[in-house]
């Protein structure tokens, strides 16, 4: 028999041998749960679908606990696109929803399975669905909601699959740009104003003081011009307005409408054709007297309704309150068509994601474009896109007039015209989905969603 001392030693050795097995068994059994908890505490994902008129895109963003972007694979986001857009399936809602399946599968592959049930998914449809008649848009959106609910485990709500209104789009853009520039969390005086010139609308947004916010008026629909936001432990009072039908492509139509004639002084000499927008064809032909910069400017001011009655102390155009100005509007970042048109005429170099420009440069380029015949544009502006050549005069005049006469910028003011923003060692697209993602994953107890959902 073992004496007491030997028995104690034997028992002690047995415990030593068994403990590691028990430890590893216990660790493995709870490893998935532990990984889930740690990931959930330190990382957040957001899946954002941008359903545009020409195609659908999905963005997947990954954030740490400080709301800093983390890479997904070799890039700062997962991105995937497909064509055509949802509006191309106006008569077949199910086919519209099914067109998103590859994007949904791609997003599922980018987000760890154990996090998908707590990863928010939002789809914002823009110009394409807005233009559909009757209940076609709503039927497509419902089919998309059914697809997401039945074929994915992402966290979503019916109201998160919707048509994005211009105010939401403008707010998201302001958040995205200021986030990428490192301005969020700072005093509003350190933020930049954003002007996003899309095809159908243009959005302007900037932060104003609390004092201005207290006296801010409502728009003609009774909705506030200013939104109160809490982002990265700071309160912001965000002036946002979306000018529907005043985007680059819609603006052309407004100017052709304003001429009310067979010919238009903004049309390049030598071009005789039609411009189609919103289901309407507009005749595009220069008058016998030729293209006229002066007359084109006057027509553009008329289309923008620069002289419309203003019921506030200061207005931009078409009777819209301008937000009152202030420190939050001192610096300006302009995006989308401002960059695209600028790149075609040498205002910006498309090899670079952004450039410093002045509004007057658009007018100077217009002076050249408007006196050049359509057939000769390529010899003057070799980067001009064929589809835009007939409208280069009108586009440049419109961009200058919008910035200076419409939004009140000094012609010689430095603005940043951008396509992408450098963030750490990556280039991130200047677009609203990132702002939407930041809003969705914000963990602040005082969090206020930017959208009205």
Annotated binding site for ATP: 199-203
In sequence order, what are the beta bridge partners of 280?
Answer: 277
For 202-217, b/e burial (b = at least 16 CB within 10 A) is bbbbbbbeeebbeebe
Cα angle for residues 32, 33, 39 (degrees, 5° grid)? 85
Q: Which tokens sit at 142?
A: 């419902």
How much helix, strand and coil, in percent to the nearest 5, is found in the chain? 45, 25, 35
In sequence order, what are the beta bridge partners of 45?
Answer: 62
Ramachandran angles phi, psi of 355, nearest 5°: -155, 155
* Residue among 122, 169, 254, 269 flagged as catalytic: 169
Termini Cα distance of the chain? 77
| In contact, 385 and 448? CB cutoff 8 Å | no
The DSSP line for 80-139 is: EEESS-GGGGTT-HHHHHHTTHHHHHHHHHHS-HHHHTTSBEEEEE-HHHHT--TTHHHH
| In contact, 55 and 84? CB cutoff 8 Å | yes
Q: Which tokens sit at 262?
A: 């067979």
Active site residue 169: yes
Q: Which tokens sit at 128?
A: 């394409």
Distance CA 100, CA 98 (A): 5
Coil/strand/helix, residue 304 = helix
C-alpha 401: how far from chain center: 23
| In contact, 203 and 170? CB cutoff 8 Å | yes
6: how many CB neighbours lie within 10 A of its CB? 10
- Which amino acids are annotated catalytic? 169
């Amino acid at each position: 028999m073992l004496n007491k001392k030997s028995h104690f030693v034997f028992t002690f050795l047995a415990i030593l041998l068994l403990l590691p097995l028990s430890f590893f068994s216990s660790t493995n059994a709870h490893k998935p749960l532990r990984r889930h908890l740690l990931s959930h505490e330190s990382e957040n994902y957001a899946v954002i679908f941008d359903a545009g008129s020409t195609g659908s895109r999905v963005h997947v963003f990954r954030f740490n606990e400080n709301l800093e972007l983390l890479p997904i694979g070799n890039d700062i986001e997962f991105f995937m696109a497909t064509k055509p857009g949802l509006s191309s399936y106006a008569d077949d809602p199910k086919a519209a929803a099914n067109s998103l399946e590859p994007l949904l599968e791609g997003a599922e592959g980018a987000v760890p399975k154990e996090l998908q049930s707590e990863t928010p998914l939002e789809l914002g449809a823009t110009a394409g669905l807005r233009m559909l008649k009757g209940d076609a848009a709503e039927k497509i959106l419902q089919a998309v909601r059914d697809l997401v609910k039945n074929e994915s485990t992402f966290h979503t709500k019916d109201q998160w699959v919707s048509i994005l209104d211009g105010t939401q789009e403008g707010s998201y853009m302001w958040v995205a740009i200021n986030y990428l520039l490192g301005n969020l969390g700072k005093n509003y005086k350190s933020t930049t104003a954003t002007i996003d010139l899309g095809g159908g609308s243009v959005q302007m947004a900037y932060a104003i003081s609390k004092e201005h916010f207290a006296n801010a008026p409502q728009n003609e629909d009774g909705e506030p011009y200013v939104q109160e936001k809490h982002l990265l432990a700071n309160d912001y009072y965000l002036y946002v307005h979306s000018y529907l039908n005043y985007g680059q492509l819609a603006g052309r139509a407004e100017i052709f409408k304003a001429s009310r004639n067979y010919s238009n002084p903004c049309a390049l000499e030598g071009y005789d054709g039609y411009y189609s927008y919103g289901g309407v064809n507009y005749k595009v032909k220069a008058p016998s007297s030729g293209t006229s910069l002066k007359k084109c400017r006057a027509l553009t001011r008329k289309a923008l309704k620069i002289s419309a009655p203003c019921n506030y102390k200061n207005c931009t155009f078409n009777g819209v309150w301008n937000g009152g100005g202030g420190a939050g509007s001192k610096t300006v970042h302009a995006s989308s068509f401002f960059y695209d048109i600028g790149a075609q005429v040498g205002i910006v170099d498309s090899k670079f994601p952004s450039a410093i420009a002045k509004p007057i440069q658009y007018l100077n380029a217009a002076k050249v474009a408007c006196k050049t015949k359509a057939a000769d544009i390529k010899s003057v502006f070799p980067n001009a896109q064929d589809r835009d050549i007939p409208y280069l005069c009108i586009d440049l005049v419109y961009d200058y007039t919008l910035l200076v006469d419409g939004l009140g910028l000094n012609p010689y003011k430095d603005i940043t015209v951008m396509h992408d923003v450098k963030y750490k060692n990556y280039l991130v697209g200047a677009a609203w989905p990132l702002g939407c993602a930041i809003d969705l994953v914000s963990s602040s107890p005082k969090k206020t969603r930017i959208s009205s959902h």
